[in-house]
Structure 1
Amino acid sequence: MLFVFMGPSCSGKSTAAEIVGKRTGAKIYSGKDYLRLAKAEGDAWRIFHEKLEEASKPDGEESLIFVCTEKELFDRIRVTENIFTVRFTATPEDIKRRFAERMRGTLPKPLEVMLEKQMHLWEGIEAKLLVDSSSESPEDAAERILTA
């Protein structure tokens, strides 16, 4: 099975991916983790995309979760069959607070602007499931993903 968890930073993607990954045995790739697959970026993406295609096959041996914060990476995915997309969101206040916690309590203005831009990029993107992590726990989100 191929899962793509997409959305802005600090919207709950990675936390839900960890839970779903533990329950399904799916391998998790986040962001540009695929770059570790080869020295050249193009080669790494080709190898990674082959893994995405393999995971999407009904008889695929390995499940995969791609945690995607950058819309440009999501747009590069050419797999159209047997892909379970989940768009994560949260209130701007929650996203900024969570990111500030990662930054030891301070959210510099340039990062705040970047987060706001990221949030807007994902608005309106179609997915099979929408998770609002401001109102849903990671465990509940994982349960919905696994039973959808």
Structure 2
Amino acid sequence: MLFIFMGPSCTGKSTVAEELSKLTPSEIFSGKDYLRLAKNENEAWKVFNENLSKASEDKDISNKSIIYIVSEKESLSKIEGINNSITVKFASDLDFIKERFAKRMRGNLPSAVEKMIERQVASFDDVESILYVDTTDKNPAEIANTILDYIIKC
């Protein structure tokens, strides 16, 4: 099974991926983690893309799944041709995202970073998905269970 967790930074994608991996065997890739699969970027992407395609065809939740975490909307164009994935769009209240991001930066959120976050959040407004999750007030384990319940019902 292939899960695509997409959305702006600090919306809980990685945390929910960790929770989901406790419920079903999964390998998590984020950003350019796929580079570890080969010596150069093009070859690594080719191998990773093949792995994503294979995972998308396997509907047995007891088999090892791939969770691919995407925080940059531009990265979605690289996986457009992969069908049958479980796409989950993550969102959160903008102020909550800024608060989470500030914690990563030791409490300081420069104006340029704040504007970058606002652009990134807006960039995902028109992205469609099978599931939509607002993480502002939800527990990551609860979200992972919701995703798993959706898979089981399908």
**TM-score per shorter chain, which class?**
over 0.9
Distance 2:117 2:38 in 1: 30
Matches within 5 A, 1:1-148: 1-58=1-58, 61-77=63-79, 78-80=81-83, 82-148=84-150
Shift of 1:21: 1.1
Q: Report the 3-state secondary structure (helix = DSSP H, G, I; strand = E; otherwise coil) of the residue aligned with 2:138.
A: coil
Structure 1 runs, 4 residues or longer, greater than 6 Å off: none
The count of corresponding residues between Structure 1 and Structure 2 is 147
Question: Any gaps of 5 or more consecutive residues in structure 1?
Answer: none
Shift of 1:145: 0.5
Deviations 1:52-101 (A, max 9, x none): 01111236753100011011111110211x21000000011000000000
Superposition TM-score, scaled by structure 1 size: 0.94
Compared CA separation, residues 93 and 56, structure 1 to 2 (3 A): same
- The answer as to whether partners of 2:29 and 2:68 remain within 8 angstroms in 1 is yes
User: RMSD of aligned C-alpha atoms?
Assistant: 1.3
Identity of aligned residues (%): 47
Distance 1:37 1:70 in 2: 21
